[in-house]
Structure 1
């Protein structure tokens, strides 16, 4: 039965430790240990800014991707994780066993299929360890928050037209398999898009507007109200203003982005929805 639990090895490698190290459960324990020992990751830097054509508007503030609340949430999550670890270690059945005893009990339990009180307790610890791993994963910098400001370009001969803005926050999932925070996000991870319209004068004088994006139409948008599309599999790279008698492609005025954790991304979404006001240019 042992060959169903371990990878094939040569006769010279059949020591208790070499067998135990190849058990899937050993890798589970290693992942829990790594998560237990990890601290709060360093927050990633922000990139981007105003597009060259719109530098004359750079005095208008962009939505801040950082906040003091993020530090508090990360600290709270780390404290919660440490509390789980403390309880988990207090009931650790391996605490007073020697290395040889651990190897013997582990091999015996898997080869015989009989298990033991120690192996049962160890599985209880692994179940708690799953919460440790989950908590640690929530703090990893494996998401990408992108803030983009859009505007309808001024028609030819009307360069003095007052612009009005559409602010968009995206929460993308990064592909970090290579260990870096590239801009490629996992296709199955999806994407969350949150949009707010700041209806001012000119072409957006109406109380409501309709925008076309992500292969759908966001109809009847009111000023400063959030429109959200979740589980979208493409980034928002184009928005079109749909008027009564005209359809106009909007341009990117500014874009900033940063890698972040799930904890920070959720804080960004909440703040954008509840607190952020799209600037209105008079």
Structure 2
């Protein structure tokens, strides 16, 4: 498993008390890099939600999966790349590769011999490689919520039709509060006979016009949370109901894969 693979990477152990590293103002950078190198795979968030009670009779219809085996494979490949970076970084770890005697000698004669400059160069090589390790952790941090919602007309007469919506909501670090940067994607699953298969929807501050069946409409940045949708017909706005909603915390790396599946492979159910 990828967890076992990554955990097998030796810890750099952090700077020693006698290290020259402790005598420079950037020692916090090294500590952050070391901590990032030792981090394992973040625990995936639990999915919540389901069908609304008033629409339980439609619960046999599938909802977009928010997990997939492909997502696991993407995470594995990402951590394999990270492990290779960690190994390269450790090759330039001055604390690991220079003995205490060498450190003491370099501290005394470094300014004369120039050896301290060699140590500084190795340390900065480690930091450059460590920067990619830190940024690699950022794309797997559970700092978003992926939300899938199915909508239908309120008190719809006859066979219901649906609008499926995916949102990737950005969270403030370490909290569950939404920050600026929500994105919305939707697909309409209309019967072909309705308005020639095209509709107009209002999503709070956005208007999606002329939507064809199973075609993607998206606003990927700075869109308000999609907590209301109106069907616009002949200038009249008709409210829609939430049929089902599921959501979970998710990382950027996983979110891209879910969105890709929604765009290219997901078909909104069309009832006959």
Range into which the TM-score falls when normalised by the shorter chain:
0.7 to 0.9
The answer on 1:256 being equivalent to 2:246 is: yes
Q: 1:126 to 1:47 in 2, by over 3 A?
A: same
Q: How does 1:152-231 map to 2 (within 5 A)?
A: 152-154=153-155, 158=157, 161-177=158-174, 182=176, 184-187=177-180, 190-200=181-191, 204-231=194-221
Q: How does 1:112-151 map to 2 (within 5 A)?
A: 116-151=117-152
Contact 2:148 2:246 in 1 (8 A): yes
- Aligned equivalent of 2:263: 273
Q: 1:236 to 1:108 in 2, by over 3 A?
A: farther
Equivalent residues, number? 252
Structure 2 residue runs of 5 or longer lacking an equivalent are 1-16
Structure 1 residues 171-194: Cα deviation after superposition (integer angstroms, max 9, x where no partner)? 11122335xxx2x1222xx11211
Q: Distance in 2 between matches of 1:250 and 1:277?
A: 20
Contact 1:240 1:250 in 2 (8 A): yes
Structure 1 residue runs of 5 or longer lacking an equivalent are 1-15
Contact 1:20 1:106 in 2 (8 A): no
Q: Distance in 1 between matches of 2:89 and 2:256?
A: 28
Q: Distance in 2 between matches of 1:43 and 1:144?
A: 11
Q: Secondary structure at the match of 1:64?
A: coil
Contact 1:151 1:163 in 2 (8 A): yes
Q: Distance in 2 between matches of 1:45 and 1:174?
A: 16
Q: Distance in 2 between matches of 1:106 and 1:171?
A: 52
TM-score, with structure 1 as normaliser:
0.80
Residue 242 of structure 1, CA deviation: 0.8
Q: 1:19 to 1:63 in 2, by over 3 A?
A: same
Q: Secondary structure at the match of 2:31?
A: helix
Contact 2:184 2:223 in 1 (8 A): no
- Aligned equivalent of 2:11: none
